[in-house]
């Protein structure tokens, strides 16, 4: 049973918004595009995992995707997919990497052998999942849960990945996506004794979800970008033009004449992701390029946002404002 559904990370959404709100000629655009590309492929690999998890007996599992929690020493760690049962936990780390791959267990690195003979050395996912097992065990102890066995797997999710220098010991830690259900069943067979009763089983899942903390990322600060460099206005989802204007209840694109009832909400989401989780009437008018204070007020009131202050000084909170994005 899926208890935390897979979603794009906050950092990924921020980079998407950044690419929308910067001109391609901006000097930081290539770097932002590169970082976003890494996140996009990682997310694609995680999504590929979901189909194979449908072969599991879901009534015996709680599945949490993208869980990010803090261990007792204040160190955050994020797990691609966590399976919880009454007998054990299983951490699954997805690697969407194509080509000929070699796990150097001595040097603790993942090596991709390129067609031109060069080798690309990457961070070792085996070391990462071992670290996550340790941190999760500390978290369980800190929150008073029984010592639940924690297993881990690195799942190669790209259809064109090929492993070099395999060994029986390595293949206990790494699996191709198509073999994932079999490996999970083998791990299940090693853990037959229940450690958690039903009450603790449900409590563990609820506590993990409660402690989940989305990643924070200050876009402007990290890329040394000034707020004035961001593209303002309500962007047309049809053609990408940023000069949609409100005509009665619809936002209308001046370039392609597309109409939308909610295009301004995506602009507001961009503001939240890139600039601030609070906004005032004048800031909304400035970012959406609207001149009417009453129109801006109507937009803010219609969203039932928490606010403090009154009249011109009222500040609205966007902290819990969220619209659905397509993956």
Q: What is the mean pLDDT of residues 69-85?
A: 97
Looking at the chain, the whole-number percentage of residues with pLDDT higher than 70 is 98
Q: What is the mean pLDDT of residues 11-35?
A: 97
Residue 163, judged by CB atoms within 10 A of its CB (0-12, 13-18, 19+), counts as middle
Q: Are 229 and 26 in contact (CB under 8 A)?
A: yes
Q: What is the mean pLDDT of residues 66-81?
A: 97
pLDDT the model gives residue 15: 98
Q: Are 281 and 314 in contact (CB under 8 A)?
A: yes
More confident residue, 264 or 116: 264
Return phi, psi of residue 176, to 5°: -80, 155
Task: Give the pLDDT band (50/70/90) at residue 325.
Answer: very low
- Kindly report, residue by residue over 197-228, the tens digit of the pLDDT: 999 999 999 999 999 999 989 999 999 999 99
pLDDT the model gives residue 326: 41
- Domain 232-317, CATH: 1.10.10
d(Cα 31, Cα 223) in Å, to the nearest integer?
9
DSSP-derived pairing of the beta strands 174-176 and 109-113: unpaired
pLDDT the model gives residue 142: 97
- Kindly report, residue by residue over 100-130, the tens digit of the pLDDT: 999 988 888 999 998 787 889 998 999 999 9
Q: What is the DSSP string of 231-268?
A: PPSPPPTTT--S--EEETTEEE-TTT--EESSHHHHHH
d(Cα 172, Cα 187) in Å, to the nearest integer?
9
pLDDT at 196 over 80: yes
d(Cα 82, Cα 95) in Å, to the nearest integer?
15
Looking at the chain, the whole-number percentage of residues with pLDDT higher than 90 is 82
- Kindly report, residue by residue over 272-312, the tens digit of the pLDDT: 999 999 999 999 999 999 999 999 999 999 999 999 998 88
pLDDT the model gives residue 233: 96
DSSP H/E element including 56: none
- How does the average pLDDT of the chain come out, rounded? 93
* Sheet (strand 278-279) strand order: 278-279, 315-317, 307-308
pLDDT at 59 over 80: no
More confident residue, 55 or 28: 28
Length, in residues, of the chain: 327
pLDDT at 258 over 90: yes
Task: Give the pLDDT band (50/70/90) at residue 269.
Answer: very high
Question: What three-state secondary structure class fits 70?
Answer: strand
Task: Give the pLDDT band (50/70/90) at residue 324.
Answer: low
Return phi, psi of residue 281, to 5°: -55, -50
Rg of the Cα trace of the chain? Answer: 23
Task: Return the domain boundaries, the chain.
Answer: 2-211, 232-317
pLDDT the model gives residue 58: 63
């Amino acid at each position: 049973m899926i208890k935390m559904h897979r979603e794009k990370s906050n950092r990924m959404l921020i980079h998407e918004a950044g690419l929308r709100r910067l001109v391609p000629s901006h000097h930081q655009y290539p770097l932002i595009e590169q970082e976003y590309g890494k996140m996009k492929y990682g997310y694609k690999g995680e999504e590929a995992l979901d189909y194979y998890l449908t072969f599991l007996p879901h009534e015996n599992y709680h599945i949490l995707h993208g869980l990010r929690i803090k261990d007792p020493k204040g160190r955050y760690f994020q797990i691609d997919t966590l399976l919880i049962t009454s007998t054990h936990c299983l951490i699954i780390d997805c690697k969407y990497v194509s080509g000929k791959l070699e796990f150097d267990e001595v040097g603790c690195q993942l090596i991709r052998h390129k067609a031109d003979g060069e080798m690309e050395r990457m961070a070792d996912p085996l070391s990462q999942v071992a670290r996550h097992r340790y941190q999760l065990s500390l978290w369980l102890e800190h929150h008073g849960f029984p010592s639940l066995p924690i297993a881990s797997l690195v799942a190669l999710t790209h259809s064109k990945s090929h492993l070099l220098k395999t060994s029986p010991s390595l293949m206990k830690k790494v699996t191709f996506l198509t073999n994932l259900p079999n490996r999970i069943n083998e791990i299940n067979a090693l853990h037959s004794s229940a450690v958690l009763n039903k009450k603790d089983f449900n409590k563990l899942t609820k506590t993990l979800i409660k402690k989940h903390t989305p990643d924070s990322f200050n876009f402007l600060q990290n890329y040394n970008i000034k707020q004035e460099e961001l593209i303002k206005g309500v962007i047309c989802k049809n053609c990408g033009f940023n000069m949609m204007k409100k005509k009665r209840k619809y936002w209308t694109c001046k370039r392609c004449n597309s109409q939308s009832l909610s295009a301004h909400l995506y602009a507001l989401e961009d503001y939240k992701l890139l600039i601030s989780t609070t906004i005032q009437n004048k800031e909304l008018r400035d970012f959406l390029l609207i001149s009417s204070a009453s129109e801006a007020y109507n937009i803010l009131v219609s969203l039932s946002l928490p606010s403090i202050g009154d009249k011109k000084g009222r500040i609205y909170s966007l902290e819990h404002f969220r619209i659905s994005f397509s993956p």
